[in-house]
Amino acid sequence: MRNDPAERPRAPRQDDESRAAPEVAPGAGVSFVMPVLNERDYLRRAVETVLRQEVDGPVELVIALGPSSDGTTELARELAAEDDRIVLVDNPAADIPVGLNAAIRASTMPTIVRVDAHSELAPGYTARALATLARTGAGNVGGIMRADGRTPFQRAVARAYNSRVGLGGGAYHGGDREGEAESAYLGVIRRAVLEEVGLFDESIRRGEDWELNLRIRSAGYRVWFDPALSVTYWPRESWPRLARQFFATGTWRGELVRRYGLRNSLRFFAPPALVLAVVLSIVAGVLQLTGTLTGAWATLAWVVHAPVLAYVLLVLAVAMGPGGGTGLRDKLWTLAVLPTMHLSWGAGFLVGVAHGAQDTVDTSRLDGRNTPLP
């Protein structure tokens, strides 16, 4: 395993045929790795769902501790004192890929299961994932992210996450067909595969999982989606946090487009296209209202408005349609959440493509104060 945290991963290469990941003996054990930063409200439950996984062999959970300000570190130490399967490592940089790599290097088992403090593993998740790895020979296996919420706002965000309209229809947001995939949510990976491709790229602060899976696929291994695997995800609790999260994610996707071009899925280009359409519609509307556009030009301007009007109707249909919370506040928050996600992500994408992500971080994780909206 590489020991230099500054070492960059190998450049992707493309093989003609898929390779089977190295086999692991039954009962060889599993290492769960979890980066945390300001997750006190979610950490205990996340840890409990990990340690309750029934696995044939030894289990360890390595938690990479970022510089939290809400008591997360203290809680993690309490949990480690209660169960010797928990190992703590420091992640002073706070970046997710740095923390993941630190946890992986401190772990000892031949299979790595990535987990998140905002997520809860379903019973049987790990055993099923190990069986799928063995059956398919894949380099990485992932399943469904099932978002959930505790307040009308968080339920609205969860509804958007679970909708094909909300996050663009990736397999792990609602797919029901098992097979090869572009990426995997969290992921269950053989250590040998991780070591071969060079662990997570520590220069990427968001989208690091997509980039890792690109290298896994480029090395000839398959990334596999199994809809029988389910993880509950708890989204951000407030509107400002959601906007900051999606702006940072979009910015890093723009950076990944700069690095990898059209190896990024075309669906990633929809939010920036929406942002541009909204800007053009606003400009056309101002020109119409001021009388600058008249006659045929004023009529033609409605062609510019058409995509935005279609989007508004789509958001209304999702918000008022079935699914998610049934209360009026849930539906009203959905009307606000969907454009917030799409426009924040799209604006960030355009910034990332134009200027690169540079030092952009997800500031929604840096503030340890939870201010959930009703």
Per-residue pLDDT of the chain in tens (374 residues, 90 and over written 9): 333 433 444 444 444 478 999 999 888 999 999 999 999 999 999 999 999 999 999 999 999 999 999 999 999 999 999 999 999 999 998 899 999 999 999 999 999 999 999 999 999 999 999 999 999 999 999 999 999 998 999 999 999 998 888 876 555 555 678 999 999 999 999 999 999 999 999 999 999 999 999 999 999 999 999 999 999 999 998 999 999 999 999 999 999 999 999 888 888 999 999 999 999 999 999 998 888 888 888 888 889 999 999 999 999 998 888 765 567 888 899 999 999 999 999 999 999 999 999 988 888 777 655 444 54
| Interior angle at CA 96, CA 91 and CA 98, nearest 5 | 55
Q: How far apart are CA 100 and CA 44, in angstroms?
A: 19
- How many whole angstroms separate alpha carbon 282 and alpha carbon 294? 16
The DSSP line for 276-300 is: HHHHHHHHHHHHHHTTSS-HHHHHH
Backbone angles phi, psi at 142, to 5 degrees: -145, 170
Nearest residue to 215 via CA among 247, 250, 189, 252: 189
Helix axes 208-218, 96-106, angle to 10 degrees: 60
Extents of the domains making up the chain: 30-235, 258-365
Q: CATH classification of 30-235 is 3.90.550.10, yes or no?
A: yes
Please spell the DSSP secondary structure of 188-240, one letter per residue. Answer: EEEHHHHHHHTS--TT-SSSHHHHHHHHHHHTTBPEEEEEEEEEEE---SSHH
Task: State pTM to two decimals.
Answer: 0.87
Q: What are the pLDDT digits (tens) for 194-243?
A: 999 999 999 999 999 999 999 999 999 999 999 999 999 999 989 999 99
